[in-house]
Amino acid sequence: MESLYKGKNGKSHFKQLSVTQDMTKNDRSEMQKKAEGGKEKKRENTGEYIWRVRGATGSLKVVRLRKRQ
């Protein structure tokens, strides 16, 4: 994983590859639910805050961040 950047700068047939984390169906569905929760909060547009999904694959959280001005 540490040397993946070499693929982007390497030969042309390596540029088309994509590498993602290996997740079970349950992990993927949990991640999608959390992402949807973050999108719903984002649509509410609560003024001075924005909502993002953060964390590692097994422990995602919807967090509130202050908007930059």
Q: Give the pLDDT of residue 69.
A: 66
Residue with tokens 């590692």: 56
13 burial type by CB count under 10 A (0-12 exposed, 13-18 middle, 19+ buried): exposed
Q: What is the pLDDT of residue 45?
A: 66
The 10s digit of each residue's pLDDT in 3-59 is 767 766 767 777 777 777 788 888 888 888 888 877 777 777 667 787 777 877 667
Instruction: Please report the pLDDT score of residue 8 as a whole number.
Output: 67
Distance of alpha carbon 2 from the chain centroid:
19
